[in-house]
Structure 1
Amino acid sequence: MAPCGPALLLLVFVSLLPCLHAGMIKLQCKNENVGIYRQNSLLSCSVKDFSPDVTVILVIWKKSGKSIFTFYAEKTTFEDEDPRLQFAEPNWTPNNMNISLLLKNTQIADAGQYECMVVTDAGEDKGQTSLQVRALYSKPTVCSFPEKNIEEHMKVTLYCNASGGYPPGRIQWLDKYNTDWTASSETRVVQEEDKRTTLISKFTVLQATSVNPWYKCVLYDSDGNRQGEAKYTLSFASKDHRKLQLIGFHLED
């Protein structure tokens, strides 16, 4: 008979779990964890109410019903599981009741519900935790059309862009006097393949004036926290440029 492989032994062990004594330990997991895109995140779970000298035999972490990390028989990260995951504490041993995971290079797709099961020589328990992933927007940038030589009372359109954020945030427009013009603007949310978003906001100044020469694009994240801003000063035509325009106008006549 061929020897049993690790995967088969693990399957047999899991099938015997109902026979193990439960209730002597308790697995406590943090309800919600927050991670930052492309940084390391923590999935927090630990065993509580245990007696001394308890030993962890088995740990299984799942997401959407699929095993993503397994510790069994001193082996971690089985084939087809996520190689970015490892125990959060360095040099973890089976006598360490902190079975939290460190998730490297966090992606937007990593957000969701996670389930953890632990088996010790004093009992077994299950717990759930969730991961919310945030991605920071780039610094907002502003441009205008026309870009320069703006005349008094001319219509000018301002554009503000910020990219790479998740969940979608919002853009606010303010002028020199702190007047909020956001209701007069239009903002589009463009979603990329990895679910991160780009904000493109358009605001038209119907009658630009050098008395109120600059506007500010303020960026907020999905929680309403101010993340950045960009101040833009309209480039009005100089007096010499206006004179040349008038001369040209009269010459055409």
Structure 2
Amino acid sequence: MTILICNSIIILITKTDPALQTPMYFFLRNFSFLEICYVTVTIPRMLVDLCTQKGNISFLSCAAQMCFVLMLGGVEFFLLTVMAYDCYVAIGNPLNYTIVMNQQVCVQMVAASWISVIPVVIGQTYQIFSLPFCGSNRINHFFCDIPPVLKLVCGEAFVNKIAVYIAVVFFVIIPFLLIIVSYGKIISNILKLTSARGRAKAFSTCSSHLTVVILFYGTASITYLEPKPNQYEGMGKLLSLFYTILIPTLNPIIYTLRNKDIIVALRKLLAKLLA
């Protein structure tokens, strides 16, 4: 409920408040919508399993859940990269910011994040669930994810594991390197500012995004780049709870508490509702 309410509020105020009609808040609105979709794929099913104590899931439902988890996670990686580029343009080229990051460019970037992920994830999911499964049908996890599902495959799934690593490079490593490059240029531009107040303001513009990047990339990369999947299963499940539940819960708080514009817009909204 915290995730749904907080992200819905962010979507509402960034859509309705005239002061928040900028590319940065356009991307934040899309990010909040993505977070709502992301947790909807996993948390309701977890709650049902906890309440019923059954934990049963059909083969097709498991495939669908994995597909959506990977799809929404992949889009989130790309959207965080786009948001890093937006920060770079805002700090590095502020005079031409509205021209470079116009509405058409912003929409195209968000659309590209989705279009580049969907076919790859569908193919990856189909490839995994086309494999023969035998023996135990118990998934030692909270939801259908690649590492625990591959453990149920008969024989060696070497090709599929290689495909997973290639996907990780495409969805995680490359976007992360682009974010590092963006922040390298951002820091370089911040250090060039003569005013201490200007440096503080520039850093505060991107600090929330940087915090989310570190949390999300850190836990997700450890999960999918774990060298020995048969070990540390408890740690893998704990990390999965971080990037599927805890981080989406913290994201609205991080963006709200460290953003004066959103706090002002939120106060305006509360004033209207209580008037």
Is TM more than 0.5 here?
no
Specify the structure having the higher radius of gyration (Cα). Answer: 1
Higher normalized strand content (fraction of residues) = 1
Higher normalized helix content (fraction of residues) = 2
TM-score, length-scaled by structure 1 = 0.22
